[in-house]
Structure 1
């Protein structure tokens, strides 16, 4: 069946959305309206408002849509594999932009940008992921590696493997980051014990663990702030 041409009122709607974006910025638009603007490019000759609203209803918000697996995205009426792949591009772009704000910069002076980067990468992940940020002697971020992936509530982590990677990067300090897909950022006892074990393993190599961040959907917990480091 041929794709129907967008009628004039739809074209006018698209123009009005673009004008609002240009004049007032993204904050002036709802999540589904921003998604509409993106879908205009992926599906140029179709009314995409119902698709945008269905995606937000299914996945909660833009972050949920951008990180949803392709096999779940295509279950939404009107979303094919091509559109699903292009939706995943949103997350890739967001992570790249956030990464550019922190790479090579001292983490102390760009801490809020670092938190934004970590949250962008992990806030909406549906399974647990353990990342390590490697810092040089000036506390500049030199690398970010995923060293553990797992289930919804567990990602295997091996302290000696982390130290091995730190030595390979000639890192002087580390920031540990992992997510809690359950939505509760409270560190678990296993998180606490693993962090203590890693700190002990790092000590002979003069590698400092600056912090361990736990990312949840709505908030972030810091071991340092909580007095656990």
Structure 2
């Protein structure tokens, strides 16, 4: 068998991406057929750009997906965890974190552009994507006008793996500045459970009472995990 025949017969993983047939290269396929035709690993590989000795960028991307378990988990991983993976240095970790932040900001823009955020399922889907897989607790406020149109979406506080400090006074001040009529608040539980703690319930009561003084209605407090959400409103706790 000639060397040329052996090269053609070799699996794609044994070749660098520039050696692949043009019809198989992720970048060319994306431009020719659209991004939906690429796998998660192939899309990630476009951001990684190059592989490492013995591994293509697609191989490195597949390894990331295996380690973290999902695309969302990869994009929510902290820099230190990403850099534990072979082929991911500071520059590539920074690129992936930047991509994740761009996705979050694009989602926030899309939510602001909606005519009305009056579907509980739409709110839940948005919050799962925004904070459901964060590694640390984040407290988010969605400020609404009288027609439930989104005025602003703001991450009011960032915390540790198990707690986040929230200051109702700051939320009241922002509500007044935006002339908000309603508010949905949410925070994530990185542990995966969504049962509210006693402090979650106390904070909800404090927020509800504080906002009532300025005629702003607390519409819901949601506790968010990657695959589940607890709604105070749905449970009749508001």
Query: What does residue 209 of structure 1 align with?
Result: 218
Q: Is the 8 A contact 1:131 1:146 kept in 2?
A: yes
Query: Structure 1 residues 24 and 202, CA, compared in 2 at 3 Å: closer, same or farther?
Result: closer
Q: Is the 8 A contact 1:128 1:154 kept in 2?
A: yes
Matching residue within 20, 44, 48 for 1:42: 48
CA distance in 2, matches of 1:10, 1:153: 49
CA distance in 2, matches of 1:169, 1:24: 38
Give the total of aligned pairs. Answer: 219
Q: Is the 8 A contact 1:211 1:223 kept in 2?
A: yes
Query: Structure 1 residues 22 and 188, CA, compared in 2 at 3 Å: closer, same or farther?
Result: farther
Matched, 1:70 2:117: no
CA distance in 1, matches of 2:28, 2:195: 40
Matched, 1:59 2:68: yes
Query: Structure 1 residues 23 and 107, CA, compared in 2 at 3 Å: closer, same or farther?
Result: closer
Gaps of 5+ in 2: 1-14
Query: Structure 1 residues 37 and 159, CA, compared in 2 at 3 Å: closer, same or farther?
Result: closer
Written as runs of structure 1 = structure 2, the 5 A alignment for 1:6-21 is: 6=17, 8-9=19-20, 13-14=24-25, 18=29
Give how far 1:176 is off.
0.5
Give how far 1:8 is off.
3.0
Larger deviation, residues 60-69 vs 99-108: 99-108
Give how far 1:174 is off.
0.6
CA distance in 2, matches of 1:13, 1:208: 54
User: What is the Cα-based RMSD across aligned positions, in Å?
Assistant: 2.6
Query: What does residue 139 of structure 2 align with?
Result: 130
Matching residue within 221, 227, 234 for 1:225: 234
Query: Structure 1 residues 15 and 75, CA, compared in 2 at 3 Å: closer, same or farther?
Result: closer
Question: In structure 2, the residue corresponding to 1:213 is in which secondary structure?
Answer: strand
Query: What does residue 116 of structure 2 align with?
Result: 106
Query: TM-score, structure 2 length as denominator?
Result: 0.81
CA distance in 1, matches of 2:130, 2:17: 36
Q: Is the 8 A contact 1:51 1:78 kept in 2?
A: yes
Gaps of 5+ in 1: none
Query: TM-score, structure 1 length as denominator?
Result: 0.84
CA distance in 2, matches of 1:227, 1:203: 18
CA distance in 2, matches of 1:228, 1:111: 16
Query: Structure 1 residues 216 and 45, CA, compared in 2 at 3 Å: closer, same or farther?
Result: closer
Give how far 1:61 is off.
0.9
